[in-house]
Structure 1
Amino acid sequence: MADLLTDAEFDMFRKVIYDESGITFSATNRSILDSRLKEKLREKQLDSIEEYYRLVMSNKEEMKIMLDSVTTNLTRFFRNQPHFDALVNYVIPHVIENKKKTGDTTIKIWSAGCSTGEEPYTIAMILADVLPPPYKFQITASDISLKCLMTGQAGFYPEARITGIPQKYLDRFFIKNDRGYQVKPELMQTIKFDYHNLRNDSGARNLDVVFCRNVLIYFDEPAQKNVIDRFWNSMAPNSYLFIGHSESLFGMDTKFEFLKTDWACLYQKHS
């Protein structure tokens, strides 16, 4: 077996990955795709990239598994704390003010590209702590990686993974055992983990807050715009969008308004 993908093989997989997910592979991250695909060949005991390509193209489940294997899943609890400070001090008070006008008491949140669940569990802990009655919340957590979703759904994290969680939240929301920390059922039931490819419409509507952090960087500009437009369609009037601190909608033709708070920058849908 050759050490590297040929240019033709690289282009072949790069195209199908882009067409199916919007994720872009370029010369700079070609080595990632190369190593992940070679791993798949070893797993499947196949002799050539062409064989694996035929398998992927003829089997929808294998396509999902392949897309899962080429994604990067870096995350941690309370990642980029200023976003959560803005959520508590700015977003939630404004969402509640708007809810008072309609009588709706449920705040709907989407954690898109949730990876292994640290982000939605962070949001859930914060809201369970600060949300005044009668308000409650529902979180949908989605990802293209089935493996990551299973970790999130299980709600179990080894000790090395719980770094950054305040002690009061660890005590309140986790059960410690000799292998690590298990999220308590009452917090787990506030989150629905769901497979979703951002290439497609999620079907969600009237969301109050969307988190999609450090995901857009894997898309080219047309794919980014499609994702952002779908977020707009899924969100309620006067709702809020968080993207990664290294990401920006600057220069993109979008209806979202840039919002600079005392804690962090985010985007707002007014109407």
Structure 2
Amino acid sequence: MASMADLLTDAEFDMFRKVIYDESGITFSSTNRSILDSRLKEKLREKQLTSVQEYYRLITSNKEEMKIMLDSVTTNLTRFFRNQPHFDALVHYVIPHIIERKKKTGDSVIKIWSAGCSTGEEPYTIAMILADILPAGFRFQITASDISLKSLMVGQQGFYPESRIAGIPQKYLDKYFIKSDKGYQVKSDLMATIKFDYHNLRNDSGARNLDVVFCRNVLIYFDEAAQKSTIDRFWNSMGAQSYLFIGHSESLFGMDTKFEFLKTDWACLYQKNI
């Protein structure tokens, strides 16, 4: 088998780059070509194939193999309470405004989407916060989605080794986790508030009237066209006076979008202000 350095010819790189983009919106460029090379080399070894052309024929003829391939080329870096200012803004600004609005309409359910949830740390962080601060009579539903099936399985199991729980305040660990010799298990009551679901952001999720969408550190893997399409789909899935959180290194500046930039005392985010 070819070495990693010469695994992909330019034509083969373009072939895989195109199919990955068409299927997921994820963009590979010459700067991260080595990542794609190494991931494909692993898949050839795993499938006992001798050429990338064989693997290409496999993924383009089998939808499940395509999902597995997309899973293998994604990067899943996350942690509990990542970018704390976002959660401060959620607690001190977003949730109070949503509660005030919903009291006027009689709606008592807050609906949140954690898009690109990876192994579940983000949706569980949101769930702990809401379970802690929501007044009586209000409840919440969180949909957590990702393109990585392996990551979703971790989230669904809700078990994290000690090395992964850094950043969780002790009061939350005591209240929402069960400690064991091997790590921490999220309690079933909190797990029941989150639905983990496979979703490709290239497609419409079917969700509507969401109050909050978190999609942090995902858009950086998309080109401008895929970013715009994704943001437009978020707009369609969200209700009036709803809120969008994206990564601190991401921005909608210069994009033709209906979202309004919102600067709070804690963090910057975006609002569907209709």
Query: After superposition, where does 1:27-106 map in structure 2 within 5 Å?
Result: 27-106=30-109
Moved over 4 A (4+): none
For residue 169 of structure 1, give the secondary structure of its aligned residue in structure 2: helix
Q: Does 1:188 align with 2:204?
A: no
Q: Could you tell me which amino acid in structure 1 is paired with residue 181 of structure 2?
A: D
- Structure 1 residue 2: Cα displacement: 2.0
Q: Following the alignment from structure 2 to structure 1, what is the Cα–Cα distance between the partners of residues 167 and 84?
A: 10
- Structure 1 residue 270: Cα displacement: 1.0
Query: After superposition, where does 1:74-223 map in structure 2 within 5 Å?
Result: 74-223=77-226
Q: Does 1:2 align with 2:5?
A: no
> Which TM-score applies when normalising by structure 1?
0.99
- Structure 1 residue 189: Cα displacement: 0.1
- How many residues are paired up? 271
For residue 171 of structure 1, give the secondary structure of its aligned residue in structure 2: helix
The residue that corresponds to 2:240 in the other structure is 237
**Structure 1 unaligned blocks of 5 or more:** none
For residue 110 of structure 1, give the secondary structure of its aligned residue in structure 2: strand
Q: Could you tell me which amino acid in structure 2 is paired with residue 2 of structure 1?
A: A
Match of 2:249 among 246, 249, 268: 246
Q: Following the alignment from structure 1 to structure 2, what is the Cα–Cα distance between the partners of residues 211 and 21?
A: 18
Q: Could you tell me which amino acid in structure 2 is paired with residue 184 of structure 1?
A: K
Match of 2:269 among 241, 266, 269: 266
For residue 37 of structure 2, give the secondary structure of its aligned residue in structure 1: helix
> Which TM-score applies when normalising by structure 2?
0.98
- Structure 1 residue 25: Cα displacement: 0.3
Q: Could you tell me which amino acid in structure 2 is paired with residue 89 of structure 1?
A: H
Q: Following the alignment from structure 1 to structure 2, what is the Cα–Cα distance between the partners of residues 132 and 212?
A: 26
**Structure 2 unaligned blocks of 5 or more:** none
- Structure 1 residue 133: Cα displacement: 1.1
Q: Following the alignment from structure 1 to structure 2, what is the Cα–Cα distance between the partners of residues 73 and 30?
A: 17
Q: Following the alignment from structure 1 to structure 2, what is the Cα–Cα distance between the partners of residues 175 and 101?
A: 38
For residue 200 of structure 1, give the secondary structure of its aligned residue in structure 2: coil
For residue 79 of structure 2, give the secondary structure of its aligned residue in structure 1: coil
For residue 182 of structure 1, give the secondary structure of its aligned residue in structure 2: strand
Q: Percent identity?
A: 86
The residue that corresponds to 1:20 in the other structure is 23
Q: Deviations over 1:150-190 (max 9, x none)?
A: 00000000000000000000000000001100000000000
For residue 267 of structure 1, give the secondary structure of its aligned residue in structure 2: strand
Q: Following the alignment from structure 1 to structure 2, what is the Cα–Cα distance between the partners of residues 215 and 133?
A: 34
Q: Following the alignment from structure 1 to structure 2, what is the Cα–Cα distance between the partners of residues 262 and 133?
A: 26
Q: Following the alignment from structure 1 to structure 2, what is the Cα–Cα distance between the partners of residues 137 and 240?
A: 15
For residue 152 of structure 2, give the secondary structure of its aligned residue in structure 1: helix
